Amino acid sequence: MTLTEKYLKAVAAQLPAAGREDVIAELRDALMSRMEDREAELGRPLTEAEEEAVLREMGHPLAVAARFGAGPHHVVGPELYPWWLFGVKTALTVLAVITVIGAVVRILVGDVEASQAFGQAIHGLLWSGMMIVGVATVAGFIIERMKDKPAFLTEWRARDLGLFEMGVFSSAWMAKATDMVGGERADGIKDPAPGRMSPTAGAVASGVAWGVFVLWWTGAIGREIRPGVIGGELMVDGVDWGLLVNETVAWIWWPLLAFGGARAAFHLMRAAMGAPVRFTAFGDVAFSIASLGFIGWFWLYSPMAPVIAVDTAQGFVDRVRLLWTTGEMVVPAVIMMVTAVAFIAEVFTLLGAAGRFVTGRDGRRHAG
């Protein structure tokens, strides 16, 4: 068997059966023509090395087969790549925030030393980051080979581009944060709805964030969060906070998993529907009620309730005063205040969502 025949067999092995013979016949003719031209230049038959040089000029069999083969010749093409990159950077940003928070919590509850916590966090961040990139690449591979392109590539709307105004890891995040607190943006751009994304873009961002949270909570990315795994002895003012955290996680692990999964699915669903006002408001009402129920349980019945709860407003004030004047009861006072603020914020969220559901109008939408 000549080198040319071996070359053609290698190309043929990479081609689909349909049309393979026609492609090989066309390629053989092209190769024979090149070799005849080279023989005419030299005035003699080609040596084996010269024949191989002609084959090398034609290209590697894998590359030649790809030129003749059907379908995309890339994993993620140039049209989809910006979406792939934006999604990866957004997910990595959320992952980084969750990982840092998790490391800080582990240090506070005495689970591990600071150096060990952050070392494990970095290791988990790298491993989970590779997983996110892998999943995004597989999704891109599938989308590239779909017969009909997804609607987000072809039917996007200008009013839903608020999310993309902020390049991930860019100074625009700081500009947006400045808008939220009523400051003046450094870039001088006026936003008709300061600090707010469009409804659909916000839904996508929330869906991704809650999805990453669910993966983190289940241990699919990062360190596993389960009873008996998290928590360690941490005695403060005679209270073992590590034990309380572990017991609390034992109570909330499955409910919080269901809550996070439901929120991720809800946000992605409303993004696909164009974020209709009443549907969004209905979901916000339901999730606010669930959140208020959780906060109430945490305050009254959780393993931490006997330590953090107070019976009266005066008791609340007295504990805050004790914290500021003596520095005592730091952990119970901080958790107490955070819980109270979360309760108040959730009440306002519930009232706002109920108002939007009744009126069918969303005052948070961009002007126009």
- Count Cα atoms within 13 angstroms, Cβ side, for 232: 10
Separation of alpha carbons 97 and 92, rounded Å: 9
Within a domain: residue 340? yes
Q: Do 338 and 354 fall within a single domain?
A: yes
Residue 168 lies in a domain: no
Q: Are residues 284 and 340 in the same domain?
A: yes
Q: 182-205 burial, b if ≥16 CB within 10 A, otherwise e? A: eeebeeeeeeeeeebbbbbbbbbb
- Residue range 207-256, pLDDT digits in tens: 877 887 887 788 776 566 666 555 555 666 677 777 888 888 889 989 99
Domain count, the chain: 3
Does 99 map to a domain?
yes
In 3D space, the residue among 362, 231, 366 whose CA is nearest the CA of residue 303 turns out to be 231
**Of 17-21, 106-110, 182-186, 265-269, the least confident:** 182-186
In the three-class reduction of DSSP (H, G, I as helix; E, B as strand; rest coil), residue 154 is classed as helix
Asked, for residue 8, whether it belongs to a domain, the answer is yes
Contact partners, residue 245, CB within 8 Å, separation at least 6:
105, 109, 230, 231
Residues 262 and 284 in one domain: no
Phi, psi of 366 (to 5 degrees): -65, 150
Residue 300 lies in a domain: yes
- On whether residue 102 sits in a domain, the answer given is yes
What is the end-to-end Cα distance of the chain in Å, rounded?
73
Residues 364 and 254 in one domain: no
Q: What is the pLDDT of residues 158-170, one digit of tens each?
A: 655 555 554 444 4
- Residue 366 in this model has a pLDDT that exceeds 50: no
Could you give the CA distance from residue 292 to residue 346 in angstroms, rounded to a whole number? 7
pLDDT at 305: 92
Question: Does position 71 have pLDDT exceeding 70, yes or no?
Answer: no
Tokens representing 206?
């929330």
Tell whether 343 and 305 lie within a shared domain.
Answer: yes
* DSSP class of 158: G
Mean pLDDT score of the chain = 78
Q: pLDDT value at position 182?
A: 42
| Selection from 225-229, 317-321, 351-355, 358-362 with the highest mean pLDDT | 351-355
305 and 342 share a domain?
yes
Higher pLDDT, 124 or 236: 124
H/E stretch holding 235 reads strand 235-236
Calpha distance 132→176 (Å, rounded)? 26
Task: Evaluate if residue 263 carries a pLDDT over 60.
Answer: yes
Q: Are residues 144 and 213 in the same domain?
A: yes
Q: What is the pLDDT of residue 111?
A: 58
The answer on pLDDT for 6 being more than 50 is yes
Give yes or no: residues 246 and 203 share one domain.
yes
Q: Within a domain: residue 261?
A: yes
The residue range of the domain holding 350 is 277-368
Taking a C-beta distance cutoff of 8 angstroms, is the pair 326, 250 a contact? no
Q: Are residues 118 and 267 in the same domain?
A: yes
**Contacts for 15 with CB less than 8 Å, ≥ 6 apart:** 23, 24, 65, 68, 69
Do 249 and 282 have their domain in common? Answer: no
Segment 90-95 mean pLDDT: 80
Structural domain ending residue among the three candidates 228, 256, 275: 275
Q: Which of 68, 87, 106 is at the close of a domain?
A: 68
In this model, does residue 175 exceed pLDDT 50? no
| Same domain membership, residue 236 and residue 271 | yes
Domain for residue 313, yes or no? yes
Q: Are residues 104 and 234 in the same domain?
A: yes
Structure tokens, 279: 């549907």
pLDDT tens-digit map of 42-66: 889 889 888 889 899 888 888 888 7
The pTM assigned to this predicted structure is 0.56
Last residue of a domain, one of 68, 95, 115: 68
